[in-house]
Structure 1
Amino acid sequence: METPSRPNILIVDDDEAITVALAAFLGRSGFDVRIAEDGRAGLLEVEQDVPDLVVCDVLMPHVDGREFVRRVRARQLWLPIILLTQVGESWERSAALDEGADDYLNKPFDPHELISRIRAVLRRTVRGAAPLRSAERLRAHDLTVDRTARRVWRGDEELSLTPKALMLLEYLMLHPQEVHSRDRLLSALWGFDFASSSRAVDHRIAELRRVLGDSSTQARYIETAQSLGYRFLAPVVAG
């Protein structure tokens, strides 16, 4: 029987202490790993041999992480990219995602959390959902989100959502079938420095369900994973 190939991961980071330790950990976790010492070297690595996924720092000399993402996407390469960032502002992280990153993790991070993110992104890639990140519109059942115009429709009816609820809906639709903890959603949309509790997420989920006509007991779009968080149930397509 042929042995399944190990996913090839490219780590792009100028901190050697991080790359050496992370490469060893990923190797033990079932991945083949290459290292590039900055964004410029990372672009050369991608040009020579496109990896299955890139883990890329944001703050680097020569070519930073966001510029790395822009240049990779400009070449019409939709390989998955996870950014590692120390930036605390949620708008900065949202901008990076808008430019084409698939996910991000704040430094310092738990390597096991990174493994979880890598596997989740690779599963989406296998399912063919990777192009969602580049899509101008997201569709699920009769729900449509226009990411450029920041507008939402259900069928022919345009819906009214607060900006944070729209950001939450977009994030969930970009990561369908995944369970997201309240803490992760707080980090993604409010930032770790947001002075509030996870109830902020619950309030926006309640707003989404009310506007979408969804139900916590018979969910069509957003399911509550008991004691874990929330999951977007419906299949999502670009378009």
Structure 2
Amino acid sequence: MNRPLILVAEDDHSLRQGLIDLLEAENYRVCAAPNGREALELYQRLKPDLLLLDVMMPELSGYDLCREVRRHDSDTLIVMLTAKGEEIDKVVGLELGADDYVTKPFGLHELRARVAAVLRRQRKAPSLVDLSSTFIFGLAKIDRKAFTAEREGRRYKLSSRELTLLETFAAAAGEVLSRNDLLNAAWGVDYFGTTRTLDQHIVQLRKKIEVDPAHPAIIETVHGIGYRYKGQHQTDQISFGSKPE
């Protein structure tokens, strides 16, 4: 099996070199860039397996780079390096399609574990394109192959994580799913993180699914436990083996 290639985009020289040394010691192949523009060029030329992006970089920010990659690539893994205590950094990154984030300052053991966990989840994830192409979720039509949700004439892009959450909810319509259930389904049983990541994904997902995200009627919060998809019709139930209409 080829060793995963990781692109490190970080403008701080000392931190960038430290990340390179850490990842190479874990037997990953590593390429690195001091700014977002060079990182984009490396991504386009080398097609790495994972991007490790600092949010604040000269020429092209981590946000801009994540947005550019996700315009045509939903598979390459992206982990954002965010500022300590800046929750908005995490929310924006997740909304743009990042798979995970690490808050600065971070420990090397945490960074190592998060990178390994994200890569393991990718290897375990089933191919979505082999499933039936569309299904109904609440008032939205979900297109697996296009990674979109269409509701009331508007089309929203979905990240691979958001799509997996929708599939998990639809397969258990009406049932209460714990946060751990949802983390295991969308992030894997070896996820190294907190349920806050899930909650932030749900917030962003509601903006695309709910008529009034501030008062959700489709993905219901069950306090102290998790969430429930309030599917109303038999057609809301997902069929993983069925053929597209």
With normalisation by structure 1, the TM-score equals 0.63
Residues 7 and 52, structure 2, Cα contact 8 Å, conserved in 1: yes
Matches within 5 A, 1:1-239: 4-128=1-125, 132-133=160-161, 135=163, 138-140=166-168, 143-144=169-170, 154-155=172-173, 157=174, 173-180=185-192, 184-185=194-195, 206-208=224-226
Deviations 1:21-58 (A, max 9, x none): 11011111111111111111111001111011111100
Q: Name the CA distance, whole Å, in 2 between partners of 1:138 and 1:108.
A: 33
Structure 1 residues 60 and 169: alpha-carbon distance in aligned structure 2, compared to 1, 3 A threshold: farther
Identity %: 29
1:9–1:53 CA contact under 8 A, matched in 2: yes
SS of aligned partner of 1:54: strand
Counterpart AA for 1:43? L
Contact 1:56 1:82 in 2 (8 A): yes
Helix, strand or coil at the partner of 1:84: strand
Aligned residues between the structures: 179
Deviation at 1:179, TM superposition (A): 4.6
Q: Deviations along 1:108-135, whole A, 9 cap, x unmatched?
A: 1111211111111111111235963362
> 1:229 aligns to what?
none
Distance in 1 of aligned mates of 2:191 and 2:97? 22
- The runs of at least 4 aligned residues of structure 1 exceeding 4 Å deviation read 168-173, 186-190
1:12 touches 1:54 (CA, 8 Å); kept in 2? yes
Distance in 1 (alpha carbons) for counterparts of 2:90 and 2:53: 13
Assess if the C-alpha contact under 8 Å between 1:132 and 1:138 holds in 2.
no
The answer on whether the counterparts of 2:165 and 2:186 sit within 8 Å (CA) in structure 1 is no
Distance, in Å, in 2 between the alignment partners of 1:137 and 1:5 is 29
Cα deviation digits, residues 85-121 of structure 1 (max 9, x gap) = 1152334312211211010000111112111111111
Looking at structure 2, the residues matched to 16 and 129 of structure 1 have their Cα atoms a distance apart, in angstroms, of 38
SS across alignment from 2:161:
helix
Which residue pairs with 1:221 in the alignment?
none
Structure 1 residues 61 and 179 mapped into 2: Cα distance closer, same or farther (>3 Å)?
closer
Q: Matched residues in 2 for 1:39 and 1:50: separation?
A: 15
Q: Where in structure 2 are there 5+ consecutive unaligned residues?
A: 128-158, 201-221, 230-239, 241-245
After TM superposition, give the deviation of residue 186 of structure 1 in Å: 5.1
